[in-house]
Amino acid sequence: MTTAEAGDQPDDGEPRTPGRLRRRASRLLSQLTARSDRLINEGLARVDARKWHYAVLASLHEYGPGSQAALSRRTGIYRSDMVGVLNELAERDLVERTPDPADQRRNIVTISAPGRRQLRRLDRVLDDLHDELLAPLNPAERDQLVQLLTRLLDHHTRTP
Amino acid sequence: MTTAEAGDQPDDGEPRTPGRLRRRASRLLSQLTARSDRLINEGLARVDARKWHYAVLASLHEYGPGSQAALSRRTGIYRSDMVGVLNELAERDLVERTPDPADQRRNIVTISAPGRRQLRRLDRVLDDLHDELLAPLNPAERDQLVQLLTRLLDHHTRTP
DNA sequence: GTACATCGTTAGTCTGACTAACGCAATGAC
DNA sequence: GTCATTGCGTTAGTCAGACTAACGATGTAC
């Protein structure tokens, strides 16, 4: 544990972030998330994708076709934003949107063969990007982080 | 380690988030940050403050008066956004903005007595809010989390 | 003294999270 | 069977945070 206490003193000139600020979990989260988001977005943009694409494709692959509303619930994307995401995916022929014969309000969304291919591709891209994101941590520490974050998110999801 | 594997299977009906999605650090970060931000913002709004106020006041208190640009660097707030933050703080008489006699481009920003009082108050408010945010974790785990996040942020700050 | 950097400021972009309201279809109560 | 309620897809729009561009004015280096 000699590597501990990272980020305490800036070696260069002036800009010293107050300690009270530096160790607030909320600040660490938002600062890190800003960088993480940028990293992921840029990485996905390079293969003409966005993270919502991944979420929808993964959900379709793991749980099969579903209505837009169901996809919203599974992915956490608001159903108002889902429209646009599905438009983008349909443009690229990664999913198909067909009316549900059993319920005329519903569209049934299905993943296509190219969609499955793209999903595998995105999985690899995301693996690489996460390797970059988590570079300073060893595998055990990465697990630890995921565990801690999951527990927190879980708590705040169940207890709104 | 029997408490592990939180959040794997939803007990209620339909909405199952794909596993590949659920354990991606980037997603955990952004989901959790969204909730954290909301929690903090609402908490601070109740005492007529925003998180930027805290950042600026803390920086002034720990490192003394400074120009707006210096404050930008210390807090990570863009200097374009700093203007508005300082307006809000000045309205509330928490800081004073006076022209630097030595450099006519600069404003020197100083914390006022009410500013110091507000800072103490915000410190207490934030302590409580973080207690809520980190509720599921024991003190050791909270430290662990802060450590891990700090190391990551550090890495991505030094290596842009 | 001219070229360049810095300061405060205004304006505007982009993304993500979220709300409101719509027309329409299905469902359940009576 | 009608009617209120709920769920669906969609459009539009709000709000906040992060970030860029460009400005006039001032300071600094050569």
The pLDDT value given to residue A2: 36
Strand partners, B95: B111
Q: Calculate the angstrom distance between C1' of C2 and CA of A88.
A: 53
| Tally of CA atoms within 13 A in the half-sphere of A41 that contains its CB | 7
pLDDT in tens, B62-117: 999 999 999 999 999 999 999 999 999 999 999 999 999 999 999 999 999 999 99
In a domain, B5, yes or no: no
The pLDDT value given to residue A113: 97
The pLDDT value given to residue A13: 59
In a domain, B45, yes or no: yes
pLDDT in tens, A66-86: 999 999 999 999 999 999 999
CA of B160: which chain A residue's CA is closest? A35
For residues A51 and B94, the answer to whether their CB atoms sit within 8 Å is no
Region A27-51 average pLDDT:
94
In a domain, B153, yes or no: yes
pLDDT in tens, A91-108: 999 999 999 999 999 999
The partner residue sitting opposite B7, judged by closest CB among A24, A36, A150, is A150
Does the pLDDT of residue A50 top 80, yes or no?
Answer: yes
Tokens of A42: 């840029």
Phi/psi of residue B109, nearest 5 degrees = -105, 130
The pLDDT value given to residue A7: 41
The domain total for chain B is: 1
For chain A, give the percent of residues with pLDDT over 70. Answer: 89
Sequence-ordered list of residues with C-beta below 8 angstroms from that of A93, at least 6 positions apart, any chain: A112, A114, A115
In a domain, A115, yes or no: yes
Q: Is B82 helix (H, G, I), strand (E, B) or coil?
A: helix
In a domain, B22, yes or no: no
| Residue span of the structural domain in which A44 resides | 39-158
Whose structure tokens read 């945010």? B133
Q: What is the CATH number of the domain that holds B132?
A: 1.10.10.10
Who touches strand D, with Cβ under 7 Å? A 30-31, 34-35, 38, 67-70, 72, 79-80, 82-83, 86, 97, 105-107; B 37, 41, 50-52, 77-78, 80-81, 103-105
